């Protein structure tokens, strides 16, 4: 592939995305629901950007287990998820108006608002992904992306369990806007 149009009008960018995260793994489920994410990027090479990402999943899902307050009912137990990640995002621009981004981030996910206090943290969480961005102007783009998140999750207990470790896993899809400052 010939990479053209590699000049960027700035070394700094901000982006915001809204999407859905589907959690998997974990004995009481990983968070699923609406996900809002913000990224800051700093270009340090013509193809590579430092990427700092903050996000939150507002959990809501189907009933996946017995409720802690009423064992006759089923509840969503995954809770919410706040994540902080950093890493490298490769940005290829095969045309003047389209960019393909490949982020590889590592971070921390704080798991909270879980059924019966089964809160915890996942660290380190590997977050690879791919995104396509269409630039409306040289500084403003709209895009879509997918990401995977995997790592160990450490829980302090809850639901009658003592402290334990399990798999944190999630797949997300997002739509968003990118602004080169």
Find the CATH number of the domain harbouring 28.
2.40.160.20
Residue corresponding to tokens 């809204």? 18
> Is 5 contained in some domain?
no
Range of the domain at 23: 12-180
CA distance 112 to 117: 8
> Is 130 contained in some domain?
yes
Category of 117 on φ-ψ map: left (φ > 0), alpha (ψ -120 to 50) or beta: left
From the list 83, 85, 149, the residue with the least C-alpha distance to 121 is: 83
Count: domains in the chain:
1
Asked whether the beta carbons of 150 and 11 are under 8 A apart, the reply is no
> Is 154 contained in some domain?
yes
User: pLDDT (tens digit, 0 to 9) for every residue of the chain, 181 residues total?
Assistant: 334 455 788 999 999 999 999 988 876 678 989 999 999 999 999 999 999 999 999 987 666 666 666 677 777 678 899 999 999 999 999 888 999 999 999 999 999 988 777 889 999 999 999 999 999 999 999 999 999 999 999 988 776 778 889 999 999 999 999 999 9
> Is 142 contained in some domain?
yes
Partners of 19 in beta bridges: 35, 174
């Amino acid at each position: 592939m010939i990479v053209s149009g590699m000049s960027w009008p700035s070394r700094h960018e901000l982006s915001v995305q809204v999407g859905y995260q589907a959690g998997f793994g974990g004995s009481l489920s990983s968070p699923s629901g609406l996900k809002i994410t913000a990224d800051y990027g700093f270009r340090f090479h013509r193809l590579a950007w430092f990427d700092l990402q903050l996000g939150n999943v507002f959990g809501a899902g189907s009933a996946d287990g017995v409720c802690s307050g009423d064992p006759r009912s089923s509840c969503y137990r995954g809770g919410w998820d706040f994540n902080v990640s950093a890493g490298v995002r490769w940005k290829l621009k095969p045309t003047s108006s389209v960019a393909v981004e490949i982020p590889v981030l590592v971070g921390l996910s704080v798991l909270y608002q879980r059924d019966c206090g089964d809160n915890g943290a996942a660290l380190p969480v590997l977050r690879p992904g791919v995104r396509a961005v269409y630039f409306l102007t040289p500084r403003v783009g709209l895009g879509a992306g997918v990401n995977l998140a995997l790592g160990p999750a450490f829980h302090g207990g809850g639901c009658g369990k003592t402290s334990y470790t399990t798999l944190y896993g999630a797949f997300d899809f997002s739509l968003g806007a990118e602004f080169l400052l």
